[in-house]
Structure 1
Amino acid sequence: MTWVNPPTPNFSIIPAPLPLLATAEEATESTLVLAGVLLSLIAVYIASKLGGELCARINLPPVLGELVGGVVIGVSVLHLLIFPEGNAQASDSLIIQLLEATAHLSPESAQAVFTSQSEVISVLSELGVIILLFEIGLESDLKELIRVGPQAAIVAVVGVVAPFAAGTAGLVYIFGIPLVPAIFAGAALTATSIGITAKVLAEIGQLSSKEGQIIIGAAVLDDILGIIVLAVVASLAKTGEVEILNVVYLIISAGVFLVGAILLGRFLKPFYVGLINEMKTRGQLLLVSLVFAFTLSYIAAAIQLEAILGAFAAGLVLAETEKREELEEQVIPVADILVPVFFVVVGAKTDLSVLNPAVPSNREGLIIATFLILVAILGKVITGFTVVGQPDLNKIAIGVGMIPRGEVGLVFAGVGSASGALSPSTEAAIIMMVITTTFIAPPFLRLVFRESPEVAEDSSNVES
């Protein structure tokens, strides 16, 4: 018998197990991203509760404590919760350092884990503000908003035009700042953080008051006008000219969306109630309502508006159904989980190092910031006095309610910085203006509402 030698195998054609190794490495990174998110949420919830409880005990709005808690764990102090958009690296994050020490995170994978973890927390923050505005819409009265619509429109327009014009002109003619960065800074003065104001109004039992409804209505319009202003100045920074067609598109789409969402919602209300009554599974009311809110939020974002406008419109529509009270109760636990993430993240992204006068660029920024802060406050406070013919209205409260810029002002600063339109001193001044108006508005809002005797009673009812 003749033995035939088998051919020698060519091992060079066998692929190395790189995909398997890559898959294993990706799985490890995914696990560590989850670990980083969990640590971030632990820090967020501890900061929000400690800050909120502290403020509640000294008779300040808990939302202010959540913002302060965010500052403490954020880029300004502890570096627990930081984000790449502030030019931070993975090595700057204490959470990433903890993962390297306890979960065997390699330095090579640290940046990828840091980026992914930050993106997840940012998404949860955005979901938080969407839920917040949905909840605020549920607690608002659409008929009352329509009734105060003309007053809210006047407040909104004056609150945009006055600070924008005064800020831009002052920066150009007093400080000699070039026109484009001056316009950017002036545009940042137009914003109003509806999330912060609405939360404070709810905490002191004034959300459904006439002043509260005017503030909310004007803040919603401010968001729409702010989106348009941001689009205009962003195109100005990129091209040197304003794209009129884009501005017209934003104005028309905003109006059509809001009116259309409310009309469509009223048409679909019977189907909504009937569907929920027919369903037998757990959570049908909450989930169907969130589907509606998320759908409107998606449509708003898809047409270049803010997603929060869609959530607010959904809340307004569902507030007119017989399921309103039951839905409000079911949304509260969801809000308790997600809304603190939003406020803590706003605080965490606030860099207080711009207040350091030892840095030369900050000195010029401090002077400009003082001017911007004055314009930011006065430009909104005067809006309450544009409502005429109603002597019993708390006009100063309306103006104070429009003061906080919050995350909206930070968006303007971020866009301006990314476009290269802002100098370091001007960017620092805008951030300082945002910090100041965000932190002074909640206590002042509670203070000015105390002038009316029914506020104490309403507030005590809410707290109980």
Structure 2
Amino acid sequence: MYLSSSLLAATTEPVETSLVVASVLLSLVVIYFASKIGGEISNRFGLPPVLGELVGGVVVGISALHLLVFPETGAESSSSLIIRFLQTTTSLTPETADSLFATQSEVITVLAELGVIILLFEIGLESNLKDLMAVGIQAVVVACVGVVVPFAAGTAGLMIFFGIPAVPAIFAGAALTATSIGITSKVLSELGRLNSREGQIILGAAVIDDILGIIVLAVVASLAKEGTVDVSQVIYLIISATAFLLGAIALGNVFNKTFVSVVDVLKTRGELVIPAFIFAFIMAYIADIIHLEAILGAFAAGLVLEETDKRKELQKQILPIADMLVPVFFVTVGAKTDLSVLNPAIPSNREGLAMAIFLITVAIIGKMVTGLTVFGQPGINRMAIGVGMIPRGEVGLVFLGIGSSIDILSKPLEAAIIMMVILTTFLAPPLLRFVFPTPESDIEEKIAAS
């Protein structure tokens, strides 16, 4: 059997299907090793495993080992250690190596796209709308400032100081808007501050940040595909993205009972998770055809199903599927990022390094100012609120991955964004511990115990 270039317009040599399967399987072995080892090391240092998956991808990718490389990074089949290994151990010829390399890369990229769709569906399931509405105006203000300030400063700064074109500058500015609720909530929980006034404002604002960020991502990604900034198009995308989410939430009140009724009738394997994925993929498709991003549809589907009494069971069933596909996305993002473009020893790289420093500065200051916007809360720890909004984590990586997939970011800008994500994620846990002193009750307990 042969796989012709239906996935592959640039080549004409047919590739044996068995070789395609072999190359994809070896790629997945590399991805899973990188994600697991990186995740475990990251977890040992009290950092989110997703950061380890990203760094693991950098190690096995174009920046280091060349185990997992992609044509869009400028790599050729001869630079892929997997392709070279297959040439040594199978009947793969140099003539068909290029075809196999491109086809393998396409398959892994599709799996990564599927992974991010499932990730956003999972995030939607975890976003409790009732809790979101209960956090009040404080969290809304903090979230809005935390989106607007870094977005505006990042976009304007890249265009003015570095001469970056409008669309990629807007995309990079959008990557600065997100806040990782997972990282912040973990540290707050460890500090015993999760239910404090500061903790509740941070968590509420982080959830709103995610929703605003996903709307911004859908709008910016659509603009990136068009290649130009059209004000009427921007207004259309903002209105359609907001209407899509609000419509999905309204649909939830009607759809929830129907979904549960259908699930209760089904008796074969997958009676819950398969209908859920059907709904998520239909929503993703609808979002895509109205010129939004598929991930917005998946997120909206998660918000709808979050309201059903099957939510907890559904989350458990999706978890192993997400464990299989989501690491493909994060490792692929890391693998495609060429950090060598930030090497200061090469004069032409210094602009990229300067961009990285600029984005990191805007990312930190842009979130720190959110603490100053809290009003009517005497004695509240404003610095802690600002610090709690700093980490970008997995949400920032979603922005980076989408930008990479549509080829809108230059290599220096892509590397600068990934450095921003890594550094803000590393900085947040120790800074939170610093600005949140140990409660006196905890100190007294430790003294009594000793």
Same-fold call, TM cutoff 0.5: yes
- Name the counterpart of 2:269: 282
- Which secondary structure state, in structure 1, belongs to the residue aligned with residue 69 of structure 2? coil
The match for 1:189 among 165, 173, 183 is: 173
1:363-442 equivalence runs, <5 A: 363-390=350-377, 391=380, 394-402=384-392, 405-409=396-400, 411-412=402-403, 427=410, 429-442=412-425
Instruction: Measure how far apart 1:226 and its partner are.
Output: 3.8
Q: Deviations over 1:280-328 (max 9, x none)?
A: 1111011111111222122222222222222222222222211122112
Question: SS where residue 272 of structure 2 aligns?
Answer: helix
Q: Does residue 336 of structure 1 match 2:351?
A: no
How far apart, in 2, do the equivalents of 1:357 and 1:182 lie?
A: 26
**Corresponding residue of 2:28:** 41
CA–CA separation in structure 1 for the residues paired with 2:341 and 2:27: 25
Secondary structure at 1:388 match in 2: coil
Structure 2 Cα separation of the partners of residues 320 and 47 of structure 1: 36
Of residues 348-357 and 443-452 in structure 1, the stretch that sits farther from structure 2 once superposed is 443-452
8 Å CA contact 1:48, 1:66 repeated in 2 = yes
Deviations 1:129-166 (A, max 9, x none): 22222222222211122334755554454344423443
Instruction: Please name the residue that 1:350 is paired with.
Output: 337
Q: Which digits, 9 at most, give the CA deviation of each residue in 1:44-86, with x for residues without a partner?
A: 1111111111122232222221111111111101111111111
Question: Contact between 1:164 and 1:189, CA under 8 Å: does it hold in 2?
Answer: yes
Partner of 2:111: helix, strand, or coil? Answer: helix
Any conservation in 1 of the 2:155–2:169 contact (CA below 8 Å)?
Answer: yes
Verify: 1:308 aligned to 2:283, yes or no. no
Q: Work out the CA distance in 1 between the residues paired with 2:71 and 2:4.
A: 25
**Whole-Å separation in 1 of the counterparts to 2:262 and 2:348:** 60
Q: Using a 3 Å threshold, how does the CA distance of structure 1 residues 38 and 357 change in structure 2: closer, same or farther?
A: same
The answer for the alignment partner of 1:91 in structure 2 is 78
**Corresponding position of 1:3:** none
After superposition, residues 24-423 of structure 1 pair within 5 angstroms as 28-148=15-135, 150-151=137-138, 153-170=140-157, 175=161, 177-178=162-163, 181=165, 184-185=168-169, 187-192=171-176, 197-200=180-183, 210=200, 211-229=202-220, 231-232=222-223, 238=228, 242-390=229-377, 391=380, 394-402=384-392, 405-409=396-400, 411-412=402-403
Instruction: Check the 8 A contact 1:381/1:402 in 2, yes or no.
Output: no
Distance in 2, matches of 1:91 and 1:379, equals 43
Measured after TM superposition, the shift of residue 219 of structure 1 is 2.3
Q: Report if aligned partners of 2:124, 2:300 keep a CA contact under 8 Å in 1.
A: yes
Name the CA distance, whole Å, in 1 between partners of 2:305 and 2:437. Answer: 31
Q: Read off the aligned partner of 1:221 and give its amino acid letter.
A: L
Distance 1:185 1:27, change over 3 A: closer
Q: Which entry has the higher C-alpha Rg, 1 or 2?
A: 1
Q: Structure 1 residue 125: deviation in Å?
A: 1.3
Give the percent of matched residue pairs that are identical in Structure 1 and Structure 2.
49
Q: Distance in 2 between matches of 1:134 and 1:233?
A: 23
For 1:321 and 1:392, locate their aligned partners in 2 and report how far apart those are by CA, in whole Å: 36
- Judge conservation of contact 2:61–2:337 (CA < 8 Å) in 1: yes
Report how many aligned residue pairs link the two structures: 420
Which amino acid in the other structure matches residue 190 of structure 1?
Answer: A
> Larger deviation: 181-190 or 80-89?
181-190
Note if contact 2:4-2:13 (Cα within 8 Å) is conserved in structure 1. Answer: yes
SS at match of 1:189: helix
Cα contact 1:164–1:187 (8 A) shared by 2? no
- State the AA in 2 paired with 1:189: G
CA-atom RMSD in angstroms: 3.3
> Would you say the 8 A contact 1:89–1:111 is kept in 2?
yes
Give the Cα separation in 2 of the matches to 1:244 and 1:182. 13
* Distance (Å, rounded) in 2 between the aligned partners of 1:92 and 1:54: 28
> Quick one: which amino acid aligns to residue 181 of structure 1?
P
Contact 2:35–2:52 under 8 Å retained in 1: yes
Question: Gaps (5+ residues) in structure 2?
Answer: 6-11, 443-450
Q: Would the aligned equivalents of 2:121 and 2:298 in 1 still touch at CA under 8 Å? A: yes
Partner of 2:448: none
Question: Quick check: 91-100 or 316-325, which moved more?
Answer: 316-325
Structure 1 length as normaliser, TM-score?
0.80
State the Cα distance separating 1:261 from its structure 2 match: 0.8
How far off its partner does 1:271 sit?
Answer: 1.0
> Amino acid of the residue matched to residue 123 of structure 1?
V
> Which residue identity lines up with residue 74 of structure 2 in the other structure?
N
- What letter corresponds to residue 106 of structure 2 in structure 1? E
* CA displacement 1:344-363 (0-9 Å, x = unmatched): 11111111111212322112
Label 1:338 to 1:188 Cα distance change in 2 as closer, same or farther (>3 A). Answer: same
Q: What is the Cα deviation at residue 388 of structure 1? A: 3.1
Q: Is the 8 A contact 2:263 2:272 kept in 1?
A: yes
Q: CA deviation at 1:331?
A: 1.3
In structure 1, distance between residues paired with 2:323 and 2:45: 22
| Counterpart-to-counterpart distance in 1, 2:141 and 2:19 | 51
Distance in 2 separating the partners of 1:121 and 1:410: 13
